[in-house]
Amino acid sequence: MTLSIAGKTAIVTGAAKGVGLAIARHFQAKGANVMFADVDEASLLAEVGEEAKGEGQVRMYAGDLREKLTITNLLSATLDAFDRVDILVNASRRIFLSDPLNPEEDAVEKLWQENVLTSLRLSQLTARRMIQQAEKTGAEGLIGSIINVSSIAAQGTQPELLGYSVASAALDQMTRSMAVALAPHGIRVNCIAFGSVMSASLQASLKDDPQSRAEIVEGTPMGRIAAPDDLVETVQFLASDAAAFMTGHVMTVDGGRSLLDRVKVPYY
């Protein structure tokens, strides 16, 4: 088996910045065709606008993935550009603080829609496309890989992160359920749950807050906050044939942080 993803086509959501951008750029560097997808059109244009205009291995699509039509159009744009889709990385995530005692608080509902339902619907429709293209070409065996991006917040408890924790836990369970459902079709579904990684959200949270940064570093056994690039090889492994017998697995990448329960700053 090989770690190569060269020649494969990947859709990466949340690809305008942070973790999603790092994954998409890494896939591009490893020879994959990549559709950079994000709701933030301005940031997408700034990152890959010129590259996406050509006939190379990069395209971009901007839209709100909460809308089913947006998901359908994203898949159509990918197929128009590259004729197929082999890998989906659901890296788009939002974070809102929650008030667990306020029944009018809507952060839980928003995060359920934006972090869970978008990944689920895109996974469902992408899986159908993968199955259809396999039937058309007569391909057998493994035909696709779906990777969800979650957080160690699913394993911990911080009241102000109620919505984010619930959404992260749901993503983990969605991974397991979809893995069982799609295994007979040759599609693997795995998840990477991270913490102590300098995502776009964490970077914004730590701006002008050296104390919180120091607390994260102190509470991470490996003694640092990782860059998004520290995740990309793991995602490539899960996408590649090297992980051919792995499905339904939630892989933790957090420098050991989830082994300790003393960091009170957000997981992100």
Q: Which amino acid does the sequence have at 85?
A: V
Q: How confident is the model at residue 268 (pLDDT cuts 50, 70, 90)?
A: low
d(CA 91, CA 118): 11
Residue-wise pLDDT for 70-92, tens only, equals 999 999 999 999 999 999 999 99
Residue-wise pLDDT for 191-248, tens only, equals 999 999 999 888 887 887 888 889 889 889 999 999 999 999 999 999 999 999 999 9
Strand order in the sheet with 9-13: 58-62, 33-38, 9-13, 87-90, 144-151, 187-194, 250-253
Residue-wise pLDDT for 36-81, tens only, equals 999 999 999 999 999 999 889 999 999 999 999 999 999 999 999 9
Using alpha carbons only, what angle is made at residue 67 by residues 35 and 160, rounded to the nearest 5 degrees?
95
Q: Are 221 and 262 in contact (CB under 8 A)?
A: no
Query: Domain spans of the chain?
Result: 9-259
| CATH code linked to domain 9-259 | 3.40.50.720
Q: Residue 220 has which token pair?
A: 């991470």
Beta strands 87-90 and 187-194, pairing class = unpaired
Residue-wise pLDDT for 164-199, tens only, equals 999 999 999 999 999 999 999 999 999 999 999 999
Q: Which amino acid does the sequence have at 242?
A: A
pTM of the model: 0.95
pLDDT at 57: 96
